[in-house]
Amino acid sequence: MASDKEFFRHKHLWIYHKYWDFDGDGTLSWEDFNLMAEKYAVYQRKGQWEEEVVENWRKVAKKWWDSLYAKADLNQDSRIDIDEWMAFFEDFSKVKHTREDVPEFLGGFMQLFFVSLDYNSKVFF
């Protein structure tokens, strides 16, 4: 049976690669967030590329990237590798947080994830 620490790492590896590493190179960078913005903009517009919608998503993605980069890029190489990702979440999980304490990238992603799973709502898609 896996330990709590192994489970924590396995879960975060899956999330890291499945939901954040859009270019599949094993690290997170602005390019991943730009690709995410494009994907969700097209998804929101039901397969259509609308430059204004893409640009709005890019603005959101830039805020998310800046939020993650400021908190997790320990070696300041403009990339977040899995060890930096894990260190961020290990530190984050040690303290009880209020809603205001949640970094913008994480709060935004949680909201997006919830809305995308809320199939009977017409709020987003």
Percent of the chain whose pLDDT exceeds 70: 88
More confident residue, 80 or 117: 80
Residue 125 has pLDDT above 60, yes or no: no
Residue 51: both structure tokens together: 């430059």
- Domain 4-117: top CATH class: mainly alpha
Whole-number Cα distances in Å, 106 to 47, 71, 99, 120: 26, 11, 11, 24
Per-residue model confidence as pLDDT tens digits over 36-82:
999 989 988 889 999 999 999 999 999 999 999 999 999 999 999 99
Give the separation between CA 55 and CA 53, rounded to whole angstroms.
5
Instruction: Give the amino acid at 62.
Output: K
CB burial of residue 52 (10 Å; 0-12, 13-18, 19+): exposed
Rounded to two decimals, the pTM is 0.78
